[in-house]
Structure 1
Amino acid sequence: MKPENPLTIGIDIDGTVTEPSSIVPLMNESFGKQLRYEDCIDYNLATVYGISDEVFADWLDKHGERLYDVAPVHGAADRVLRQWYKRHKLVYISAREARHLEVTIKWFSRYQIPYHHMDLIGSHDKLAAARKWQVDLFLEDRLENALQLAEALSIPVFLFDTPYNQGTLPRLVQRVTSWEQVDALVDQLALEKANA
């Protein structure tokens, strides 16, 4: 049975569905650092680790597959997404490259996280993909993405609170601290849509 007023939910993967801190141990291991997740106050980890963007891009190129395979689930993401799948359309829009589709699908399967569409765009600019899928809202951890999506599409964006995305937020971007909180907010949006 199809829900009467489903939402099309755009969802980032890394730092949103996966635990935001999962990259830190791998970066520490590779670069001989002992940084904590709380030390990562800039989304650009090259800046945090004192390396060039090229060195970081090369590191991600070599270690991306391992990172995407070992990342733990972020809080109750798996449980909430399984519930949403029955009522809403789940579209994952990620900066991961298309070549990582297989490891991504295996990870989703391992944790029994459902999806309707998986769009690995290989870029942080998610605007075209969000437009293509006509998302009603977006879940994100990168501040710049959240601001761009909310402004350009006039949709609500739920920004998962992290050390690297602090700052003033406009009306349509709401900071959230758990998947349970997002679940309640999505229920509220679905109800508003039904009553509109």
Structure 2
Amino acid sequence: MNAKQSLTIGIDIDGTVTDPGSMVPMMNESFGKNLRYEECVDYNLATIYNISEAEFVHWLEQNGERLYREAPLHGTADQVLRNWYNRHRLIYISAREQKHLAVTEDWFHRHAVPYHEIALLGSHDKLAAAKERNVDLFIEDRLENALQLAESLQIPIFLFDTPYNQSPLPPLIRRVTSWQEIAELIDQL
């Protein structure tokens, strides 16, 4: 792979382009907790907040639009993605539901985050979407997604370092701490 050539980059949205801790204040507000992002050591926030899956799904149904509208940008994602836009194909593949496309596109426009395509799957299973779009690499924050994509597609995965994805990683998955670090690594491919 030569980063001087055009790449098709698969990119998760929540916790990747948006700040990974952005859901915690809203969950604290709704469930009367005072948890810190660093305490969220499980991706499944229902477990962290000691609520049922049904309660979490209901909460997301009630608060998803606000969450997606108000989520802060993750670091310098906007700058890096703008730098890539004319050279690489940027495809956002997210577990968000299709009904949130308008609020998602609005967020991208307000934050000047460019895209070639946004695919909202309504599921964490991103494998078929990534395969169908022939992604050359993927940027993700959910460990299970990273493992599945790396193993099935045999492509590099950049996994944002978060409290909820700590585990030994196979060689195709590289833990990263910033968008700038990803930009530098992609330039080296």
Q: TM-score range by the shorter chain?
A: over 0.9
Q: Alignment partner of 2:86: what SS?
A: helix
Tell me how far 1:175 sits from its aligned partner: 0.2
SS at match of 1:87: coil
Q: What per-residue deviation string (whole Å, max 9, x for no partner) do you get for residues 88-131 of structure 1? A: 00000000000000000000000110000100000000000000
Task: Name the structure 2 match of 1:45.
Answer: 45
Q: Which residue identity is paired with 1:120?
A: L
Q: Matched residues in 2 for 1:42 and 1:9: separation?
A: 26
Identity %: 67
Does residue 130 (structure 1) correspond to residue 130 (structure 2)? The answer is: yes
- Provide Cα deviations, 1:115-156, integer angstroms capped at 9, x if missing partner: 001000000000000001100000000000000000000000
Equivalent pairs counted in the alignment come to 187
Structure 2 residue aligned with 1:151: 151
- Contact map agreement 2:4 2:187 (CA 8 A) in 1: no
For 1:188 and 1:123, locate their aligned partners in 2 and report how far apart those are by CA, in whole Å. Answer: 32
Match of 1:193 in 2: none
The residue aligned with 1:73 is 73
Question: What does residue 32 of structure 2 align with?
Answer: 32
CA contact (8 A) 2:92 2:118 kept: yes
Q: How far did residue 50 of structure 1 move? A: 0.2
What is the Cα-based RMSD across aligned positions, in Å? 0.9
Give the match for residue 185 of structure 1.
185
| Higher share in helix | 1
Find runs of 4+ consecutive structure 1 residues off by over 4 angstroms. Answer: none
Q: Aligned ranges for residues 1-196 of structure 1 at < 5 Å?
A: 5-189=5-189
- Taking the aligned partners of 1:180 and 1:137, their CA distance within structure 2 comes to 16
> SS where residue 119 of structure 1 aligns?
strand
Q: What residue ranges of structure 2 are gaps of 5+ in the alignment?
A: none
Letter of the aligned partner of 1:21 in structure 2? G
Amino acid at match of 1:19: D
Q: SS in structure 2 opposite 1:21?
A: coil
